[in-house]
């Protein structure tokens, strides 16, 4: 049996009310008032599609053996590197095997996530792979006061495919490929260029998704009455309902498009919606998934008995519930680099990243891997040549020790107004980890007034630096204080 063995998601904590955008920008483009309802998820200033992908991957792989992965597929239209294996960075952050594991990027259209899922399933079916992780993530920048700014949200989802402990069996797939251009982003351009909304709604979503669904049903001799939940992206809520009506689908069996609570997360959205559907699925339920973009991919799964005993670490619903309202439109615009602000003289330093040092210390930097003394059992970060325990001081007697998934507590911290930061003050401090070990790290996703000594933290893979001159993005791990409420 081949199918889904685990799933997870990641929605950033910040939410921006669409009414906030209207209040600040409707003077320039009043039409946005027509879509002022609900809110959308927005990434923090130190997040991007790659960091969100890592977060979703960890959520999916909780309780699973990351060393058993033999495939990591990353789908996104907003990858930070045009010529560097972005999926390789995700693999390094997961501490996945370097030998025997294939990493691959899928990009260039919004159905890249479902296409990656089909490739993963085919790899497992062929026997060439056993455990393939598919991660889809997007953080699309938009111009201010545009419909895209109102519609687009940020997020990621991850699905693990394999043969063992299958919670949703793969039942079939179908693809429709056509060069229907509803929007595009030219090479080197910052923003999507979109065509008229009626074109996108009526000729795009409204015709291509139903055509692909009918093609799938015909291929497998199925009826929509056999399907428990139909999942397809479409941020035009009226069109989303019209597609179901045209196909004769009971509205109760259509997965909510999540437009009002997180916005459309691009390449990630079909898998985000699938993860949300799986959270509610019962044994025997069939789920039909569609991915839209220059055609349409259709995948069908049937929940097994094992889904009843499966609970994601946090999942899409957990992340949607953990939110903080971002009430400053100016702050949101700065997070997106849509306005220019001075970081001061200290922010002018632009050192060249040492790729040789990154290679030597890749486990430490990307995987947050320290060491553990094999004589006394003391963990430490960063790795040092001698054990830090005074009673031991053993030299060279170490094994790798992963800190990324270890919870910790704040031992001391500060809020620094002199350090250059997009969201001052820069917060950082010393964290002690459960099971031993300490690290001096930056804090993120918090207000300094909320941070307390002794507060629990969890680690999060984040963007640490962005070299605009050379086009290089550097990543490291930061601590997220677990603020109550």
Residue with tokens 């699925």: 281
Q: Phi first, then psi: give them for residue 17, nearest 5 degrees.
A: -70, 135
Contact present, 119 and 106 (Cβ < 8 Å): yes
Give the orientation angle of helix 112-125 with respect to helix 269-280, to 10 degrees.
60
Q: Say if strands 71-75 and 131-138 run parallel, antiparallel, or are unpaired.
A: parallel
**C-alpha atoms less than 13 angstroms from C-alpha of 147 in its C-beta half-sphere:** 13
Beta bridge partner(s), residue 286: 302
Contact present, 289 and 278 (Cβ < 8 Å): no
Beta bridge partner(s), residue 480: 458
pLDDT, mean over the chain: 95
**C-alpha atoms less than 13 angstroms from C-alpha of 325 in its C-beta half-sphere:** 9
| CA atoms 205, 210, 211, 213: torsion sign | positive
Q: For the domain 403-481, what is the CATH code?
A: 2.40.50
294-344 tens-digit pLDDT:
999 999 999 999 999 999 999 999 999 999 999 999 999 999 999 888 777
pLDDT band at 350 (very low <50, low <70, confident <90, very high): confident
Q: How far apart are CA 71 and CA 81, in angstroms?
A: 20
pLDDT > 90 fraction of the chain, expressed in percent and rounded:
93
Kindly report the pTM of this predicted structure: 0.96
Is the pLDDT higher at 193 or at 468? 193
Contact present, 234 and 242 (Cβ < 8 Å): no
**C-alpha atoms less than 13 angstroms from C-alpha of 345 in its C-beta half-sphere:** 0
| CA atoms 453, 458, 463, 465: torsion sign | positive
Which residues, at least 6 apart from 58, have a Cβ–Cβ distance to it below 8 Å? Answer: 8, 94, 313, 404, 405
160-189 tens-digit pLDDT:
999 999 999 999 999 999 999 999 999 989
pLDDT band at 485 (very low <50, low <70, confident <90, very high): low
Q: For the domain 3-335, what is the CATH code?
A: 3.40.47.10
Nearest to 441 by CA among 467, 473, 470, 464: 464
Mean pLDDT, residues 101-108: 97
Nearest to 249 by CA among 287, 277, 280, 281: 287
Q: What pLDDT, on a 0 to 100 scale, did the predictor assign at position 340? A: 86
pLDDT at 466 over 90: no
- List the chain domain ranges: 3-335, 403-481
- Note if the bond before 386 is cis, omega within 30 degrees: no
Q: Say if strands 155-162 and 408-416 run parallel, antiparallel, or are unpaired.
A: unpaired
Q: What pLDDT, on a 0 to 100 scale, did the predictor assign at position 352? A: 80
Residue with tokens 């294996």: 85
3-state secondary structure of 474: strand
Contact present, 262 and 316 (Cβ < 8 Å): no
Nearest to 33 by CA among 45, 46, 42, 24: 24
CA–centroid distance for 278 within its chain = 17
């Amino acid at each position: 049996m081949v199918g889904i063995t685990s799933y997870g998601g990641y929605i950033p904590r910040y939410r921006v009310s669409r009414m906030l955008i209207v209040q600040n920008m409707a003077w320039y483009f009043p039409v946005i008032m027509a879509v002022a309802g609900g809110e959308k998820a927005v990434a923090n200033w130190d997040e991007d599609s790659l960091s969100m992908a890592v977060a979703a991957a960890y959520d999916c792989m909780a309780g699973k053996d990351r060393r058993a992965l033999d495939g990591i597929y990353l789908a996104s239209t907003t990858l930070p590197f045009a010529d560097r294996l972005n999926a390789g960075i995700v693999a390094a952050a997961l501490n996945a095997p370097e030998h025997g594991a294939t990493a691959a990027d899928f990009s260039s259209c919004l159905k890249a996530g479902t296409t990656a899922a089909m490739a993963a399933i085919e790899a497992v079916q062929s026997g060439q792979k056993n455990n393939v992780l598919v991660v889809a993530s997007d953080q699309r920048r938009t111009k201010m006061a545009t419909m895209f700014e109102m519609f687009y949200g940020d997020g990621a989802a991850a699905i693990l495919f394999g043969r063992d402990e299958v919670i949703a069996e793969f039942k079939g797939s179908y693809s429709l490929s056509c060069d229907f251009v509803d929007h595009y982003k030219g090479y080197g351009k910052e923003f999507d260029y979109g065509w008229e909304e009626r074109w996108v709604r009526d000729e795009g979503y409204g015709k291509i998704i139903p055509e692909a669904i009918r093609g799938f049903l015909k291929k497998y001799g199925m009826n929509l009455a056999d399907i428990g939940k139909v999942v397809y992206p479409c941020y035009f809520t009226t069109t989303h309902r019209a597609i179901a009506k045209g196909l004769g689908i009971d509205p109760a069996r259509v997965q909510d498009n999540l437009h009002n609570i997180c916005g459309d997360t691009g390449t990630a959205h079909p898998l985000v919606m699938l993860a949300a559907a799986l959270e509610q699925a019962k044994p025997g339920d069939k789920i039909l998934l569609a991915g839209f973009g220059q055609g349409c991919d259709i995948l069908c799964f049937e929940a097994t008995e094992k889904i009843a005993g499966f609970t994601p670490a946090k999942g899409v619903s957990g992340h949607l519930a953990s939110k903080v309202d971002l009430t400053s439109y100016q702050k949101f615009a700065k997070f997106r680099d849509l306005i220019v602000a001075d970081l001061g003289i200290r922010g002018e330093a632009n050192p060249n990243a040492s790729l040789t040092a990154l290679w030597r210390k890749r486990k430490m930097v990307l995987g947050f891997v320290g060491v553990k003394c094999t004589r006394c059992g003391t963990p430490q970060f960063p790795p040092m040549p001698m054990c830090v325990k005074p009673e031991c001081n053993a030299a060279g007697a170490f094994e790798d020790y992963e800190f990324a998934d270890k919870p910790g507590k704040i031992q001391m911290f500060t809020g620094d107004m002199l350090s250059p930061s997009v969201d001052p003050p820069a917060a950082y401090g010393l964290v002690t980890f459960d099971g031993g070990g300490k690290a001096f790290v930056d804090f993120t996703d918090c207000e300094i007034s909320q941070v307390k000594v002794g507060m629990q933290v969890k680690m999060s893979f984040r963007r640490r630096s962005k070299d605009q001159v050379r086009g290089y993005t550097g990543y490291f791990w930061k601590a997220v204080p677990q603020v109550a409420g």
